[in-house]
Structure 1
Amino acid sequence: MSIDPNPTAMRVTAGVDWAKDDHAVCVVGDQGEVLDRFTVPHDAAGLKRMAAKLLRAGVEQVGIERGDGPVVQTLMHAGLTVFVIPPGQVKNLRSRYGSAGNKDDRFDAYVLADVVRTDVRRLRPMLVDSEQTIALRGSVRARRDLVTHRVAAANQLRAHLQLVFPAAATLFADIDSPITLTFLGRFTTQQAADWLSPKRLAVWLRSVSYSGGVDPAVLHARLLAAPRGVTGEPAGIHAGTTTALVAVLRTLTAQIQILAASIGEQLNAHPDAPIFTSLPRSGTVRAARLLAEIGDARGRFPTRESLTCLAGVAPSTRQSGKVKTVMFRWGADKQLRDALCDFAGDSRRANPWAADLYAKATARGCDHPHAVRILARAWAHIIWRCWQDNTPYNPATHGALQTLLNQNQPTAARPRG
């Protein structure tokens, strides 16, 4: 039998240290030697040149710290296999090459390339979701960011009113509710609110279609009971701040509603929508968020535990000798964990199995976040199965739920013989 004098070609890998303005690239050979180093700007020409140089060098596999954006798209469109190695792992891997632990873009690019060379069997190639899912993820995250901004703006308005117009801060239930913002648009100062009587307040409430159900006399009593606000010339200056904050809240609320409508349209058009909308109390935005964060690339989560671990709802176990510790999993996709825990925490209000699992966790001494993570892990197993089988959740075929419901059925009285 003849022997091939060159049975294997030289394996070449690369690492890309992603940055805002430019990207450091390192190419290494099969013995870890540096074959090339270069930097490309973050523009169309630079990314095109990067892909061309990698292909000419014979690179097939690339390591990078970030799994989205134009850099990854360029690499994948060039036919390269991309491995995402999170920054936390890269930080730990630096100690393999030296004890200084210094951060350097060129060095990090080498670390990424060399880890792909030596540890490829431990890495999982990146799988990209469909463009439809990526767009939905962008809308969902943008809406969530706006909600966070709205909470901050509402807190700022509340703090401002407590100093200059305390009555307006507590007159209605929510500081950012439409009725509160409408009231502040008409009565910006204490002096303006002093014009109100129970009768005048009732007339004004009818004119703005108030539906809160609180008697105008009660609301007027709240105005009188609150500490007096600033009056005189300074009140007009403070009114400008009030008006500005109200305008910000109105704008944020309007844009959140626009995004929510867009999310609903995108969700209805997505082929995986029936899976996530079938979950209890998933609604529209919550179902869309679950879909967007889990994605539609089935190969990304080959097992249900791969989903629970990335979502951070599976505990991390550490053992040294006879000491075994089970602790919170810090290394996780925080967006995915938040989406899954948000759904799980509310599902117990509509699903007896979820309520029972949560109650058992709290009875064992788990606090609320821990109990929700336990419930989220159980739901992740169910969602993964539905997701892989492309089948909506059906309570009638949920074995644990049906067992619980049957246990709670009253035992029929036996006929006397």
Structure 2
Amino acid sequence: MDVIVGIDVSKDRLDGHVLPAGESFFVGNDHGGIDALIVRLSQMKADVVALEATGGYEMLAAAALSSAGFAVVVVNPAQVRSYANALGRRAKTDPIDAAVIAAFVGATRPQIRPLRDEESQAFSAIVSRRRQIVQMITAEENRARMAQTKETHKSIRRLLAALRRELESLDDDLDGRIRTSPLWRVRAALLTSVPGVGPTTARTLMAEMPELGTLDRRQIASLAGLAPFTRQSGKWRGKSFIGGGRGKVRAVLFMAALVAARHNPVLKAFRDRLVQAGKPKIVAIVATMRKLLTILNAIIRDSKPWKSA
């Protein structure tokens, strides 16, 4: 029987639970604690180590365990909580959560994907910082429209100038990293060969979806949160929804789909057919996002650039 270790992550501590032994333990969420964790897991010959995603606190442990050769999976906390509710486990403490995580992995057997290496994680961090800068620029531009005094306008202009310089610096950094990485250069060229996909979309997909090209179309759509699901009970049939997945990926795909629906002949025809068939425009755009992602997945998988015919 596989040895499965569930780990509940907090800022300062890692609580673990081992199945089938039922053993519980904890270590510090720092280099010393993780070194001790690696020794413990090596002694028990752990087959799978599962950590709950907690806004980045899990990344040090996940990266260290992965580089130590363990099969690591980072699980969705909402799914784990739903699983706990289904089991009737209402109590919530760190040791209990660790036990639930281990049981969840044992029951669902989620696919274990390779974690991003250090360079890819740095790339992702820059993309996230760029997004924050863009949001700050938008906020200051909104304030400029509401400002009523010259002094306020001057302050906003100075800050906007600094933010735009920082944005340009981050873009240069991203471009430099792409130029120095043969793999990223090839991937960037493949992705941007599709009309509607610009550098920002390509960078975000490379940073936030390293699985692109390794999964089938249903799996990649589910990973991005673009796989529709329907609510139904008995004879009642609800509407289909999308949700979950990677919000950053969906955000850039939404903008790319809007552009592609105008300038990409294949996706424009696809979107127009849906609208002509009576589908609401937002539904047509979501379907276009899903089709665009499927195309990009196939392009990376086959290493062949876009062809309209």
TM over 0.5: yes
Measure how far apart 1:369 and its partner are.
3.1
Amino acid at match of 1:115: F
1:266-316 residue CA offsets vs partner (Å, 9 max, x unmatched): 3333232221121113232222223323325644x2x11111122222311
Q: Aligned-pair distance for 1:40?
A: 1.7
Contact 1:28 1:34 in 2 (8 A): yes
Where does residue 357 of structure 1 map in the other structure? Answer: 270
Counterpart CA distance in 2 for 1:127 and 1:369 is 34
Structure 2 residue matching 1:272: 3-state secondary structure: helix
Quick one: which of 257, 273, 287 aligns to 1:344?
Answer: 257
TM-score normalised by structure 1 residue count: 0.67
Q: Letter of the aligned partner of 1:43 in structure 2?
A: D
Normalized against structure 2, the TM-score is what? 0.88
Q: Given the superposition, is the C-alpha separation of residues 110 and 345 from structure 1 closer, same or farther in structure 2, using an over 3 Å criterion?
A: same
Hey, what's the Cα distance between the residues in 2 that align with 1:243 and 1:102?
54
Matched position secondary structure for 2:5: strand
- Per the TM alignment, residue 138 of structure 1 is displaced from its structure 2 partner at its CA by 2.1
Q: What is the aligned partner in structure 2 of residue 253 from structure 1? A: 164
1:103 lines up with 2:131 in the alignment: no
Does residue 1:305 correspond to 2:218, yes or no? yes
CA distance in 1: counterparts of 2:260 and 2:217, whole angstroms: 20
Q: Percent identity?
A: 26
Q: Does 1:387 align with 2:304?
A: no
Tell me which amino acid in the other structure corresponds to 1:330. G
Q: How far apart, in 1, do the equivalents of 2:212 and 2:94 lie?
A: 31
Query: Is this contact kept in 2: 1:272–1:296, CA < 8 A?
Result: no
Match of 1:126 in 2: 113
> Where does residue 51 of structure 2 map in the other structure?
64
Q: Residues 103 and 245 (structure 1 numbering): CA distance in 2 closer, same or farther, change over 3 Å? A: farther
Deviation at 1:111? 0.6
Task: Name 2:245's counterpart in structure 1.
Answer: 332
Give the drift of 1:149: 1.3
Equivalent pairs counted in the alignment come to 302
Change (3 A) 1:368 1:257: farther
C-alpha separation in 1, matches of 2:196 and 2:136: 25
Residues 40 and 83 of structure 1: CA distance in aligned 2, closer, same or farther (over 3 Å):
same
Task: Look up the equivalent residue of 1:105 and give its one-letter code.
Answer: D
> Are the aligned partners of 1:128 and 1:297 in contact in 2 as well (CA < 8 Å)?
no
Equivalence for 2:199: 284
Q: 1:371 to 1:154 in 2, by over 3 A?
A: same
Q: Mind listing any 5+ residue stretches in structure 1 that lack a counterpart?
A: 1-9, 166-187, 189-238, 397-417
- Between the aligned partners of 1:327 and 1:53, the Cα distance in structure 2 is 46
Shift of 1:375: 0.6
After TM superposition, the runs of 4+ consecutive aligned structure 1 residues lying more than 6 A away are none
Alignment-mate amino acid for residue 52 of structure 2: E
Q: Is the 8 A contact 2:265 2:308 kept in 1?
A: no
What is the aligned partner in structure 2 of residue 138 from structure 1?
A: 125
Task: For CA contacts below 8 A with separation 6 or more, give which structure has more relative contact order.
Answer: 2
Give the secondary-structure state (helix, strand or coil) at the position aligned to 1:317: strand
Tell me: CA distance 1:118–1:351, structure 2 relative to 1, closer, same or farther (3 Å).
closer
Letter in 1 for 2:13: D
Separation of aligned partners in 1, 2:119 and 2:189: 15
Shift of 1:259: 1.0
Q: Write the distance in 1 (CA, Å) between the matches of 2:275 and 2:85.
A: 41
SS at match of 1:39: strand
Task: Work out the CA distance in 2 between the residues paired with 1:324 and 1:60.
Answer: 42
| CA distance in 2 between partners of 1:23 and 1:105 (Å) | 9
Question: Are 1:17 and 1:23, in contact at CA under 8 Å, matched by a contact in 2?
Answer: yes
Residue matched to 1:193:
none
Partner of 1:169: none
Deviation sequence 1:223-257 (CA, Å, 0-9, x none): xxxxxxxxxxxxxxxx2x44433322121111111
Amino acid at match of 2:98: A
Q: Which residue of 1 aligns with 2:102?
A: 113
CA 1:297/1:132 → structure 2, altered by over 3 Å: closer, same or farther?
Answer: farther
**1:389 Cα offset (Å):** 0.8
**Is the 2:27–2:33 contact (alpha carbons within 8 Å) kept by the matching residues of 1?**
yes
Report the secondary structure of 2:16's partner residue. strand
Conserved in 1, the CA contact under 8 Å of 2:190 and 2:304? yes
Q: Which residue number in structure 1 is paired with residue 22 of structure 2?
A: 34
